[in-house]
Amino acid sequence: MKVAKFGGSSVASAEQIRKVASIIEADSERKIVVVSAPGKRTSDDTKVTDLLIKLGETMIEKGAAEKELQAVIARYESIAQGLELGQEIVDTIAKDLQDRVAFDRSHTGKFMDQIKASGEDNNAKLIAAYFQSKGMNAEYVNPQEAGLFVSDEPGNAQVLPESYDHLNRLRERDGVLVFPGFFGYSPEGTLVTFPRGGSDITGSILAAGVDAELYENFTDVDSVFAANPNVVEQPAEIKKMTYREMRELSYAGFSVFHDEALIPAFRKSIPVCVKNTNNPQAPGTMIIAERDCFVNPVIGIASDSGFCTIFVRKYLMNREIGFGRKLLQIIEDEGISYEHIPSGIDDTSVILHEDQLDGEKELRIITRIKKELEVDDVYVERNFAMIMIVGEGMHNTVGIASRATSALSKAGVNIEMINQGSSEVSLVFGIHQQDADEAVRSLYAEFFGSKTGLE
Ligand code: ASP
């Protein structure tokens, strides 16, 4: 049995949903179909999830949002018409949305989750109706009825372990099951969503729950590329990569796949295949536990911007017991998470996403560090990018770091920070944001040259 997940662009219009149906009909092992909300039809279109966020926020602010509500209904209506489904399904969706906007708004997180999740939920109902209209044996499955239980953290759900046993029972059901991505229910019955992009997580949980032989993740590119195609011209296609490599690259800016989504599939050793809805014949990228790393020790180069660093210097910092703990405690007290802490003998930098640090927090943190840690110097620098070189073969290949640094130096990119992850699957360079694209291009040329595919 295979679990096939279709992302937003794969279910954005009637035309796309017809392709989904053909893909499912082409392989009888594709028994569980996980769907996103309708995504963008063109590059300047708006995803239904974003329309829904606007709808929810307007309701909270003004207590009414008729225009925003109609915009969402219109998207489903145009899909239903394109699929010749008739008015009934549109009325069901309109009624569902009207019920959701009338929900209790006193807890904004819970209210927003109700609204956001409708994107996937209604799309799953619509797609199931379309499959049935084509004579397919298919049905919509609700995550609560299937037992997909999650923690009660609005917008940030984590799957609860008992879900896997519940979901395993789906194996016994007949026909194709159409399952909405992006949300589950707390054991008390509250709807809770995963973080943005979370339909990938639903697919992975289901694949693990039903012990699928393969988790197929359908998107709109033929494969995962070794670098961002908007930065590097025609980057090589990755044919095979490991879970760890995909996780590191997704974390560092590859937007193909949600970085947390791999964990459930990985724990059960279920292979994942990223495929293209618009070209299902292409083999896609296989994500597996191990690969042969001799030929390509490096598999990809990612870049992510929007970082800042809190730089701290104190003479003999290395000898002061508890310094690191106290420093991180100050950051924790502000509810901030950090990404890296490269350190030297007398200095250390804490690197974090800069959107977490507004002016007031920055002032409080700097004041406390000065006062409580009696440092010689402390300051914040903004506008950093992190460039990450990823590859399982790096730890037993000599010279990767030196090749990378000399490529960057030839390109005139100043390296502010280097961090070799403890796992040695990745090497991170902190550089100024304005140099990020040049850095990626120079590293790409160094490690991949004119390669077109990475086996
Ligand atoms: N529709 C949600 C989002 O845009 C979840 C998903 O598509 O994975 O984030």
Closest-CA residue to 4 (of 160, 213, 195): 213
Closest-CA residue to 442 (of 306, 319, 270, 303): 303
Closest-CA residue to 163 (of 201, 196, 125): 201
Would you say 384 and 307 are in contact if contact means Cβ atoms under 8 Å apart? yes
Q: What is the pLDDT of residue 295?
A: 79
Q: Using CA atoms, how far apart are residues 281 and 290, in angstroms rounded to an integer?
A: 24
Q: In the structure encoding, which two tokens stand for residue 50, read together?
A: 């974003």
Handedness of CA 24, 25, 27, 28 (dihedral sign): positive
Mean pLDDT of the chain: 94
Name all domains of the chain by residue range, CATH numbers in brackets.
Answer: 2-220 (3.40.1160.10), 300-454 (3.30.2130.10)
The residue to mutate among 182, 183, 220, 256, having the most atoms of ligand 1 within 8 angstroms of its beta carbon, is 182
* β-bridge pairing 240-242 and 285-288: parallel
Q: Using CA atoms, how far apart are residues 152 and 189, in angstroms rounded to an integer?
A: 10
396 — pLDDT class (breaks 50, 70, 90): confident
Q: Which atom of ligand 1 is nearest to the CA of 202?
A: 8
Give percent of the chain with pLDDT exceeding 70.
99
Distance 36 CA to ligand 1 centre (A): 6
Q: What is the pLDDT of residue 260?
A: 84
Q: What is the pLDDT of residue 66?
A: 96
Phi and psi at residue 323, in whole multiples of 5°? -60, -50
Task: State which amino acid sits at residue 348.
Answer: T
Q: Using CA atoms, how far apart are residues 23 and 26, in angstroms rounded to an integer?
A: 5
Cα R_g (the chain), whole angstroms: 24
Closest-CA residue to 370 (of 314, 445, 300, 435): 314
Q: Which residue has the higher pLDDT, 282 or 293?
A: 282
Q: What is the pLDDT of residue 254?
A: 79
Give percent of the chain with pLDDT exceeding 90.
88
Residue linked to tokens 């979370």: 198
| Residue 400 predicted with pLDDT over 80 | yes
* Residue 413 DSSP symbol: P
293 — pLDDT class (breaks 50, 70, 90): confident
Pocket of ligand 1 (CB under 6 A): 8, 36-37, 47, 49, 119, 181-182, 196-200
Q: What is the pLDDT of residue 3?
A: 98
The mean pLDDT of 426-437, rounded to a whole number, is: 95
Q: Using CA atoms, how far apart are residues 386 and 417, in angstroms rounded to an integer?
A: 9
Return the minimum-mean-pLDDT range out of 115-119, 259-263, 290-294, 377-381. 290-294
Q: Using CA atoms, how far apart are residues 296 and 453, in angstroms rounded to an integer?
A: 10
* Residue 399 DSSP symbol: T
Residue nearest to atom 8 of ligand 1 (CA): 197
Q: What is the pLDDT of residue 395?
A: 84
309-330 burial code (b ≥16 CB/10 A, e <16): bbbbebeebeeeeebeeebeeb
Distance 197 CA to ligand 1 centre (A): 4
Q: What are 325-346's pLDDT values in tens digits?
A: 999 999 999 999 999 898 889 9
194 — pLDDT class (breaks 50, 70, 90): very high
Residues in the chain: 455
Q: Which atom of ligand 1 is nearest to the CA of 198?
A: 8
Please, what is the Cα angle at 22 between 16 and 25, to 5 degrees? 145
Q: Using CA atoms, how far apart are residues 217 and 258, in angstroms rounded to an integer?
A: 11
Q: What is the pLDDT of residue 248?
A: 87
The mean pLDDT of 10-33, rounded to a whole number, is: 98
The mean pLDDT of 179-208, rounded to a whole number, is: 97
Q: What is the pLDDT of residue 202?
A: 98
Residue linked to tokens 């397919």: 136
Phi and psi at residue 161, in whole multiples of 5°? -60, -30
Closest-CA residue to 97 (of 71, 115, 123): 115
pTM as predicted: 0.88
Helix (H, G, I), strand (E, B), or coil: what is residue 430? Answer: strand
Distance 120 CA to ligand 1 centre (A): 8
- What dihedral do alpha carbons 283, 286, 291, 297 form, nearest 10°? 80
Please classify residue 341 by burial: count the beta carbons closer than 10 Å to its beta carbon, then call 0-12 exposed, 13-18 middle and 19+ buried.
Answer: middle
Q: What are 212-269's pLDDT values in tens digits?
A: 999 999 999 999 999 998 899 999 999 999 999 998 888 877 777 887 888 999 999 9
The mean pLDDT of 281-300, rounded to a whole number, is: 90
| Residue 423 predicted with pLDDT over 80 | no
Intra-chain end-to-end CA distance of the chain, in Å: 26
The residue to mutate among 36, 55, 127, 194, having the most atoms of ligand 1 within 8 angstroms of its beta carbon, is 36
| Residue 455 predicted with pLDDT over 80 | no
| Residue 137 predicted with pLDDT over 90 | yes
Distance 49 CA to ligand 1 centre (A): 7
Q: What is the pLDDT of residue 270?
A: 97
The residue to mutate among 55, 122, 196, 259, having the most atoms of ligand 1 within 8 angstroms of its beta carbon, is 196
Q: Using CA atoms, how far apart are residues 448 and 438, in angstroms rounded to an integer?
A: 15
60 — pLDDT class (breaks 50, 70, 90): very high
The residues, any chain, with a CB within 8 Å of residue 175's CB and separated by 6 or more, are 31, 136, 137, 138, 139
Across 251-376, the runs of DSSP E, i.e. the strands, are 272-276, 285-288, 300-313, 347-353
Distance 4 CA to ligand 1 centre (A): 16
| Residue 449 predicted with pLDDT over 80 | yes
Distance 200 CA to ligand 1 centre (A): 8
Distance 199 CA to ligand 1 centre (A): 6
